[in-house]
Chains A and B, each alone.
Chain A
C-alpha cells in the first residue's frame, strides 16, 4: 500500500522513527534500524573529551544509515538549555529538525509543559522545525501548535517503561480534536501490539527505542515492529467494526440442521 505522509514538508513512507541508544553494539543498532525500515533516526549530543575521538564511531554508523536525523535535547531541564543544545546540534548535524525535550520531573522523565512551549516558540522563530516530546494534554498540544509546531509527539507512557498507551482516553481525545496534525506516539511503547494499537487509533507514527534495543533479539524485534506499524495502519484504513455487548452469530442461522421450535 502506498501510504506516504508528510512532516514539515518532508514526505515519508515509513511510520516508524527509531532511536539509536541502548543497543548491545553500534552494529546491532545499524542492523535494527535497517530491519525496521525507519527513515528517521534520533541521536543526541554529550560532552566529549578529545581522547574519545569526539563521538566519531557512533556518528559514522548513524551516518552510514543514510536516514534523516532527528537530534534530541534529552537531559535538558530548562528552555534555555534546550535552545542552546538545539543550536549546537543544528551546526553539527546540518539539520533544522529537533526533537525538543524539556524535562520537568526526573522520576517520570515527564515533559515540562511551560518550558516546552517557551523553547518551541524561541526555536521556531529561529528557523527550527520542532518535534516536541509532550504529554497527552490537549491544551498543551494546542499551545505548541499556536507557537508554530507542525507535528506533536505525545508520550504513550514514560520513557523506557514499555507500558504501552497508559491513557488511551486522552490520546483518543487528542486524535479526535486535532485530526489534521501529524501525531507521533513517542515513548512508552513496549510491544508490537502497542504499536498496532497506536496506528489503529489513527496516530500517524511511533518513535521507538528501548522496546527494540533492549529486546532479546533487536533485529528480529525491529522487523516485528515494522509489521505491527503496517498492520495497525491498514486496520485504521480498513475501519474497525463496532463493538457489541452480546453475541451475534457469524454463520447464517437460516437452514440450520436439527433446528426445531421450542416445545
Chain B
C-alpha cells in the first residue's frame, strides 16, 4: 500500500514537469513582446529593454523557464499586466468561488447518478432502466451553457424565483450566497449526472455477470445484500475514477457556466485575461488549473485501493 502510494506520487512528477513546460512554451509562442505589451504604446525602447531584463526575458529560453519555475515554486506567479496585482492571491480568491460550485455540483451529481445507474443495471431492460438510460443520454447531449440560459429564462425571468445577475460569495453571506449558487449548480448536476449514471450502470452490469455475485447469492444473501455488499464496491471503482476526471474537467469548463450566470470565478478570470491579453494571468490560470487537475486525479488514485485492493499488487 505504502509502496503503491509512493510510486503513484513519483509517477506524477514527469507529468507535472511536462505540464509546466507546455504552459511555458504556449505562452512564449504568443506573437509580440510581453514587455512592450506591459508598458503600453508610449514606452521608449530603453524602457522596454529594462523591463525585459527585469522580467528575465533577455535570458536564453531554458534559463527563462527555470527562473519562472523557481518563482512558481516560491508561490510567486508574477503580476498582472493590466492592474499590477499579484496573480496567485487573485487566482486563489477566484478559485474559491469556482471550487464551491464545482464541488457542490459533483457531489450532488454523484449522489443522484451513482444510485440511479446501479438501479438501472439491477433492473436491466425494465421500464425504470429505460427511463434512466434515456434521461442519462439526454443529459449527455444538452450543452451546459444552453441549459443554464434556459434555467435563467424560466426561473429567473418568467417565474422570477431566482436572481439573474449578481453574485455574493457564500463565505460572506451564506444564505444569500447559496441563492446565487442554485442555478449554476443545478445546471452542472443535470449535465454531468448523465455520464456518471451511464458509467455506474455499465460497470454494475459488468460486475453482476461475474461468478462472485452468483457465489454471494449461493450463500443465501438477499438481493439487497448482494448488491450493496458485493456489487457496489467493485462496480463503483471505475465510476470513482470518472468522477475525479469530471471534477477536473469541470474546473476547466467552468468559464462557460460563469459566463452564463455572471459569476466572478476562475474561469471568467481566464477568459477575461485572454481578451485583455494579460498573459501572465493566462499563464497562471492555465498552470493552476492543470496542477489542480493532476492533484485531484492523484487523490482519486490514492483512494482507489480502498475500492479495489488488486491495484496495489
Asked if A and B are interacting partners, one says no
Listed in ascending order, the chain B residues whose CB lies under 8 Å from chain A are none
